[in-house]
Copies of this chain bind each other. A is one copy, B any other.
Amino acid sequence: MKSGLIVFLIILNMSVYAAEGMWTPAQLPELSEVLEAKGLQIDPVSMSDLTGYPMKAIVSLGDCTASLVSPQGLVITNHHCAYGSISYNSTDERNLLRDGFAAGSFADELPAVPGSRVLVTVAVQDVSNTILGGLPAGMSGRARYQAIEESEKELVRECEKDKGHLCRVASYNGGIQFELIKQLEIRDVRLVFAPPASIGNYGGDIDNWMWPRHTGDFSFYRAYVGPNGLPADPGPENVPFQPQHWLRVQPKGVQDGDFVMVAGYPGRTNRYRLSSEVANVINWRYPEYKIALEGWLAAIMTAIDGKPDAALKYASLISNINNETKNYGGMLEGFAKGNLVKRKQELERELQTWIADHPENQDSDLSAIEALQVLIDESQSRQQRKLYYQLAYRSALLRAARTLYRLAREQEKPDEAREPGYQERDLVRIREQMTRIEGTFDAEVDQQVWRHLVLAYAAIPEDQHVDAFDQWFGINGNSIDTEALDTQLEKMYAGSSLADTQARLDWIGKSSTEFETSDDPFIRMAVALFDGDMKIEEWDKDLSGRYLEARPRFMRSLLTFQQARGRVVYPDANSTLRVSYGVVTGSQPRDGIVYLPFTTLEGIVEKNTGTEPFDTPAGLLRAIGEKQYGAYIDEQLGSVPVNFLSTLDTTGGNSGSPILNGKAELVGLQFDGTYESIISDWDFLQDKTRSIQVDVRYVLWTMEQLGGAEQLLKEMGVGR
């Protein structure tokens, strides 16, 4: 009998505090007191200065966030944010996804995938008056939409006259406030360092949204500008961008209970939706989307079966659909536990009462809630069409044909009158889009999957159908002749040249007449659908215009009401720069189980099976086995921390965001949330919502272990 007494004591410090909130930098001074009380050690006002430290170092990659970490334009972000560039540079002989990459010198750095940008926010200007000032009362939704769109286009055009900048107008709180965001648009981006996917994507889809987690989700880019210091097209003469500010890296990391912040570009949240909107999402949207997407996925899986080349092309789409359906499932579970509809109903009752008690806030027959509800009902009356017609467009060739024909139609107008997305400034993007199709398209798969989606569309109620689409395929009510459909699809794919990249590109710049007289079946179909689709677009724009009146009215009531109760309200995420603050801490996700705040190197070995996505490189396994922790050991954990949990309020778009300690030093990177946090786009649960970060100590330890990064470490000021 083995004997002996091992006493293993874990003290789980779950000091949870109000971490909810994605604050605009401008709001931070209002929060000075609480920030300082929680652990901010720099002047809170400095956090609102977009031209200073640290905010000037926080950059956008479009869908992700990143940060500048050296005076030479070195940029750190997630591995999954640099995935496209790593993949773009991978070949059979030199598989960077599999083996990772470390540039030996500046000259060895590789071009990022075409279209990559590093966007540095340089100015944010309130343009609410410009946009809303001249709008007459009582105008139609369509007119309001048009007026706002025109103001926005005009502001963007003016702003972009400053060459090398990308401008856009962002709306806050449903349209109460508008800001013109001006960003330096660095177009020469190069890949500097990436760990193998077996580190950067360790755990893959299986561990996505899961804790415990052991993912080394980091990579490095470098931003390059022309010799004159201004943004330039990629070229050998370009030089590293020299930023005014870059983040200091803190190799000591953080401890359980430490104050942390995240600064980044969260994409979209829906925290102020009405209870009826949430109820619809729970009862219709997510369940229905889940079923529709699972059907789509099944069709793809069947179509690629036995076709490894096609499987590779559809891998990214499959992963996205998987991720989406997992999200829907997780959100439905979150809703089921969170009681959100009931809580919203209570808030709405209180708000309604308050409005009644404060008639000065009541400016029409319908209350702000009732007026909004009218539009919500209208949206929902077309939601089946929205989902299934969108999926019925999911032939890559039909989508290409639609874009190309629309471009031809828009190009008949002066540039400023064109639909956003089809202006001169968008041509590069459209060209890229037409080129990229070849990497994600297989004609047989496209045809087979599209067949499934057309049949799914045919099955929805007739009043949700689109006439021109029905006519094209001879759909009558819910009935469709599948044999005729098969023949028609065969003919369409056989008769179209759009599967060829050059053919697609050749259509750019052609006149609408050339489209209308073409006998390419996909072009013909796009032409046939055009008028009907424009009618739907008009309807959508009119509704959007009316939302742009009703939603701000509701939000104004809510804000005034909350203000009266002494509460500060942050606006929903809208891809603009935000700051959240919180604390490093574990959680009790469910009865009987606890998430510890940190994982360690040993957990990597535990999970390792040798098979993707749990195939740690042998060298790393050896180093862990030999406890080569180096400078990055955490004494309390007795190992190097890998990932950690915090109460930070984050969402998609925050990926790659720097995690900052109380001195605004970089201590980690945001990359995911726990399963209990999937719901957080709708509802922030104080006890359960946790963001997942990669610990900077694991980043540095891994770079040392993999080698080839000595110069980079020195550049960041953490070299030996």
Chain B, Cβ-Cβ closest to A212: B592
Encode contact with B along A3-38: 1 for CB under 8 Å, 0 otherwise.
111111111111111101100000000010010000
Q: 3 closest Cβ contacts across the A-B interface? A: A591-B603, A212-B592, A8-B14
Check if B593 sits within 8 Å of A594, measured CB to CB: yes
Provide the residues of chain B in CB contact with A214, threshold 8 Å. 591-592
- Copies of this chain in its oligomeric complex: 2
Check if B1 sits within 8 Å of A17, measured CB to CB: no
Selected contact of A15 from candidates B5, B12, B607, B643, CB within 8 Å: B5
For residue A674, give the distance in angstroms from its CB to the closest CB of chain B: 11
Encode contact with B along A567-593: 1 for CB under 8 Å, 0 otherwise.
111100000000000000000101111
Check if A591 sits within 8 Å of B602, measured CB to CB: yes
Is A201 among interface residues, defined by CB-CB distance under 8 A?
no
| A11 and B14 contact, Cβ closer than 8 Å, known pairs A606-B590, A606-B591 | no
Provide the residues of chain B in CB contact with A212, threshold 8 Å. 590-593
Provide the residues of chain B in CB contact with A7, threshold 8 Å. 13-15
Check if A12 sits within 8 Å of B12, measured CB to CB: yes
Is A2 among interface residues, defined by CB-CB distance under 8 A?
yes
Check if B596 sits within 8 Å of A594, measured CB to CB: yes
Check if A590 sits within 8 Å of B603, measured CB to CB: yes
Provide the residues of chain B in CB contact with A599, threshold 8 Å. 591-592
Is A441 among interface residues, defined by CB-CB distance under 8 A?
no
Check if A568 sits within 8 Å of B1, measured CB to CB: yes
Check if A10 sits within 8 Å of B14, measured CB to CB: yes
For residue A277, give the distance in angstroms from its CB to the closest CB of chain B: 22
Check if B598 sits within 8 Å of A595, measured CB to CB: no
Provide the residues of chain B in CB contact with A381, threshold 8 Å. none
Q: Which of A588, A591, A606 has the most CB of B within 10 A?
A: A591
Which residues in window 330-364 of A have CB below 8 A to B? 336-337
- 15 pairs across A/B with beta carbons < 8 Å? A1-B34, A1-B570, A3-B17, A4-B18, A6-B14, A10-B12, A212-B591, A588-B596, A590-B606, A591-B600, A591-B603, A592-B598, A593-B595, A593-B596, A594-B595
Check if B6 sits within 8 Å of A20, measured CB to CB: no
Provide the residues of chain B in CB contact with A595, threshold 8 Å. 592-594
Q: How far is it, in angstroms, between the C-alpha of A337 and the C-alpha of B11 when the chains are bound?
A: 26
Is A211 among interface residues, defined by CB-CB distance under 8 A?
yes
Provide the residues of chain B in CB contact with A18, threshold 8 Å. 1-4
For residue A35, give the distance in angstroms from its CB to the closest CB of chain B: 12
Check if B593 sits within 8 Å of A213, measured CB to CB: no
Selected contact of A337 from candidates B1, B606, B686, CB within 8 Å: B606
Chain B, Cβ-Cβ closest to A602: B591
Selected contact of A17 from candidates B6, B14, B31, B590, CB within 8 Å: B6
Check if B6 sits within 8 Å of A9, measured CB to CB: no
Encode contact with B along A625-651: 1 for CB under 8 Å, 0 otherwise.
000000000000000000100000000
- Residues in chain A within 8 A of chain B (CB atoms): 1-18, 20-21, 31, 34, 211-214, 336-337, 567-570, 588, 590-596, 598-600, 602-603, 606-607, 609, 643, 686-687
For residue A593, give the distance in angstroms from its CB to the closest CB of chain B: 5
Q: Which of A337, A570, A643 has the most CB of B within 10 A?
A: A337
Check if A16 sits within 8 Å of B8, measured CB to CB: yes
Chain B, Cβ-Cβ closest to A596: B592
Provide the residues of chain B in CB contact with A6, threshold 8 Å. 14-17, 686-687
Check if B13 sits within 8 Å of A11, measured CB to CB: no
Given A1-B570, A214-B592, A592-B598, list of 4 further CB < 8 A pairs?
A: A211-B593, A212-B591, A590-B607, A593-B596
For residue A207, give the distance in angstroms from its CB to the closest CB of chain B: 11
Provide the residues of chain B in CB contact with A593, threshold 8 Å. 211-212, 593-596
Provide the residues of chain B in CB contact with A8, threshold 8 Å. 12, 14-16, 588
Check if B1 sits within 8 Å of A609, measured CB to CB: no
Chain B, Cβ-Cβ closest to A213: B592
| A9 and B9 contact, Cβ closer than 8 Å, known pairs A17-B3, A591-B600 | no
For residue A586, give the distance in angstroms from its CB to the closest CB of chain B: 8
| A9 and B4 contact, Cβ closer than 8 Å, known pairs A336-B609, A592-B212 | no
Q: How far is it, in angstroms, between the C-alpha of A15 and the C-alpha of B686 when the chains are bound?
A: 32
For residue A668, give the distance in angstroms from its CB to the closest CB of chain B: 15
Q: How far is it, in angstroms, between the C-alpha of A595 and the C-alpha of B34 when the chains are bound?
A: 34
Chain B, Cβ-Cβ closest to A34: B3
Chain B, Cβ-Cβ closest to A686: B2
Chain B, Cβ-Cβ closest to A592: B212
Provide the residues of chain B in CB contact with A600, threshold 8 Å. 591-592
Provide the residues of chain B in CB contact with A570, threshold 8 Å. 1
Chain B, Cβ-Cβ closest to A11: B11
| A1 and B567 contact, Cβ closer than 8 Å, known pairs A15-B7, A594-B10 | yes
Selected contact of A9 from candidates B13, B213, B603, CB within 8 Å: B13
Provide the residues of chain B in CB contact with A568, threshold 8 Å. 1
Check if B10 sits within 8 Å of A9, measured CB to CB: no
Provide the residues of chain B in CB contact with A15, threshold 8 Å. 5-8
For residue A69, give the distance in angstroms from its CB to the closest CB of chain B: 27
For residue A608, give the distance in angstroms from its CB to the closest CB of chain B: 9
For residue A262, give the distance in angstroms from its CB to the closest CB of chain B: 16
Provide the residues of chain B in CB contact with A31, threshold 8 Å. 1
For residue A599, give the distance in angstroms from its CB to the closest CB of chain B: 4
